[in-house]
Amino acid sequence: MPAESTPDPLAHPDRQRAWLDVDLGALARNAAAVAARAGVPLLPMVKADGYGLGAPAVVRALEPLAPWGYGVASAAEAAALRAAGATRRVMVLTPVLPTELPRARAVSLTPALHRAGDGRAWAALGGGAWHLAIDTGMARAGARWDALDDALLSAVGAHPPEGAFTHFHSADTDDASRAEQEARFREAVSRLPARPPLLHAENSPGVERAGGASAWDLARPGVFLYGVSAGGVLGAEPVAHLRARVVDLRDLRDGETVSYGATWTARGARRIATVPAGYADGYRRALSGVGRALLHGRPVPVAGRVTMDMTMLDVTGVPCAVGDVATLLGRDGAAVLTAAEVAAAGGLSPYELLTGLRGRVPRLYDTA
C-alpha cells in the first residue's frame, strides 16, 4: 500500500488569507507556571474574549488546572461564558451597576461590589457570594482603603463578602508601591467585621515579581497567560501567532514609494511583498514603517503605511513567492516576534495589541 500522506496544516481553508494560530498548549503551560509560583488557586482573567484569543477556547484549555474560577469585566461576558458551558465561578471585577444585578444573579456570577446599597440589593436578590473591591491607590474602582464608611461596614457585617481584593498599579516595576498597597489593603481588611475567606491582590506581574509564594488566597493572572512577561523569574511562552500569506510581489526602482502618503522611499532596487492583513485585522497602523515580520524565519521590515486590509513588507534579499507565509506576531521556526516587542515598536501596550486582534482573522487552535 502507498504510504499515507500527512495533511499540510497550511492547506486549512482558514489559512488562505490571514489567521491567528493560538497555541493553547503554551497557554496552559504558562498558567501552570503561574500556579506553581503562586502556590494558591488561580482566578485567571479571561475578559475581553480571552485577551482577544477566544474566551471559550481559553477556558477549555485552563480547565484541567482546576482554577477557582474565571475573571471577566461585564455581566455580558459572564453570560457568554455560561452559554459556552463554563460551570466554575465567574467573577466580574468591574463595578456592576444596580440595574445589572438581576442579570448577574440570573447567570450566577460573583460581582465585585463596594457600595453599601449595592451590597444590600445583591443580598435582597438572594445573589449569594460577592467580593468587596478595595482601592489602595489605583483610583479606578472600589472603596477607598482609608474611607470605609459606617454604612458599608454595616452592609458587610449584615451580608459578609466571600472575598476582598485590590489591584496593584505598578507591579511590573521595582518601586515601593506594591508594599505600600499591600499595607493599605491589610489596613482596610482589619477594619472589616471579619476577615473574608478569600483575599487576592496579585495580577500577572504581581506573581512574576513576587519574592516567592503568594501571601494571599487567590492569584489573578492575566496577560502572562497569553504570552507576555513582566520580566520576573518566569518566562511566558508565546501563545498568539498572527500570520498572512504573500498575495503580491513587485520590484521597485530607486526613489519609488510605497503606500499612502508615500512615506517610504526605496533606496536602491527593492522587492516588496504584500500580505492581506491590516489594521482592520488588528495589525495596527502604528506599526507603519517600524514593524517587522518574519519570512522563512528571517526578519523583514514593514514598508510604508499599514492599510486597512494590506501591509507591505520589504523582502529584498529574502526568498519569497506568492503564497508564502509571513508571521506578523509570534514564532516562525527559531525566530520570535513577541507581543511585547511588536507592541513596543508601535508605541503600544501588549494588552492593546492582543485585545485589538479583530474577528475577521480566524482563530485556529493548537492544543499540543
Taking the CA atoms of the chain, what radius of gyration do you get in angstroms? 24
pTM: 0.94
DSSP 138-202: --SSSEETT---HHHHHHHHHS--SEEE---SSTTSSSSHHHHHHHHHHHHHHTSSS--SEEE--
pLDDT at 49: 97
The pLDDT tens digits of the residues spanning 280-289 come to: 999 999 999 9
pLDDT at 9: 75
CATH of domain 240-366: 2.40.37.10
pLDDT at 56: 97
Q: Is the pLDDT of residue 1 over 80?
A: no
CATH of domain 24-226: 3.20.20.10
45-61 exposure pattern, b = at least 16 Cβ within 10 A, e = fewer: bbbbbbbbbbbbbbbbb
The pLDDT tens digits of the residues spanning 226-260 come to: 999 988 788 999 999 999 999 999 999 999 999 99
Angle between helices 116-124 and 150-158 (to 10 degrees): 20
Q: 3-class DSSP state for residue 27?
A: helix
State the number of CA atoms in the 13 A half-sphere of 246 facing the CB. 23
Closest among 259, 328, 324 to 292, alpha carbons compared:
328
Look at the block and give the residue holding cell 458599608. 152
pLDDT at 175: 82
Closest among 24, 68, 29 to 50, alpha carbons compared:
24
Give the domain ranges of the chain.
24-226, 240-366
Mean pLDDT within 198-203? 97
The residues annotated as belonging to the active site are 47, 260
Q: Is the pLDDT of residue 4 over 70?
A: no
CA dihedral (123, 125, 127, 130) positive or negative: negative
For all residues of the chain together, what is the average pLDDT? 95
CB 282 within 8 A of CB 357: yes
Using CA atoms, how far residue 315 sits from 160, 222, 301, 312, in Å, is 62, 36, 8, 9
